[in-house]
């Protein structure tokens, strides 16, 4: 009879332990879940921003000749003359764009003196000390005005904190 009583106490203790463990498990799981959702939302927001900037660049006649075909002459002119603040008024701050034509080896930045023997245009300058960088590549074309040829290119859009 004494064993029976002890076993019942053990049973109660086990039940209590189990229920407490289940509650703790649920709390940990929900906390982890919330964190994951926050991270996912943050990632989605950044991705949406990158897509927005990318689509703006690919569709604006200031940079392109048509849908996703960047004009190297326009890009060089913008690179040399345009102030980043003007674009930041439209697209917000903390972003950086690089367009690279893939018809040349390596990376040769485009300035007035180098044109047309260059293949990289940077808009709104790369910041060394920026944090939380996140970037995506888009396939595009770059129209070479001097040679009248369309080259394959990459539009890299990066956002940061």
The residues binding other proteins (CB under 8 A) are 1-2, 4-6, 8-9, 11, 15, 18-19, 22, 25-26, 29, 33, 36-37, 40-41, 43-44, 47-48, 50-51, 54-55, 58, 67-69, 100, 102, 136-141, 149-154
Q: How far is the CB of 80 from other proteins (least distance, A)?
A: 25
Closer CB to other proteins, 31 or 112, in the complex: 31
Q: Which is nearer to other proteins, 18 or 126 (CB)?
A: 18
Residues 6+ away with beta carbon under 8 Å from 8: none
Q: Find the shortest distance in angstroms from Cβ 67 to other proteins.
A: 7
The minimum distance between CB 6 and other proteins, in angstroms, equals: 6
CB of 72 to other proteins, least distance (A): 13
> Which tokens hold the place of 88?
């930041």
Q: Which is nearer to other proteins, 55 or 117 (CB)?
A: 55
The string of DSSP letters for 51-85 reads HHHHHHHHH-TTTEEETTEEEHHHHHHHHHH--HH
Question: How do beta strands 69-71 and 134-144 pair?
Answer: parallel
At residue 104, the 3 state secondary structure works out as: coil
Q: How many residues belong to the chain? A: 161
73 vs 84, which CB is nearer to other proteins? 73
76, 63, 41, 35: which is closest to 157 by C-alpha? Answer: 63
């Amino acid at each position: 009879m004494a064993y029976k009583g002890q076993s019942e106490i053990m049973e109660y203790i086990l039940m209590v332990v189990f229920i407490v463990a289940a509650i703790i498990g649920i709390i940990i799981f929900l906390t982890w879940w919330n964190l994951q959702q926050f991270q996912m939302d943050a990632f989605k927001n950044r991705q949406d921003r990158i897509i927005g900037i990318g689509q703006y660049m690919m569709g604006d006649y200031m940079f392109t000749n048509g849908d996703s075909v960047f004009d190297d002459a326009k890009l060089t002119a913008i690179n040399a003359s345009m102030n980043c603040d003007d674009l930041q008024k439209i697209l917000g701050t903390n972003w950086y764009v690089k367009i690279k034509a893939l018809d040349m080896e390596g990376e040769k930045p485009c300035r007035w003196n180098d044109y047309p023997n260059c293949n990289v245009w940077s808009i709104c300058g790369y910041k060394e000390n920026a944090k939380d960088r996140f970037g995506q590549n888009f396939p595009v074309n770059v129209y070479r005005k001097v040679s009248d040829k369309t080259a394959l290119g990459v539009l890299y859009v990066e956002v940061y904190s």
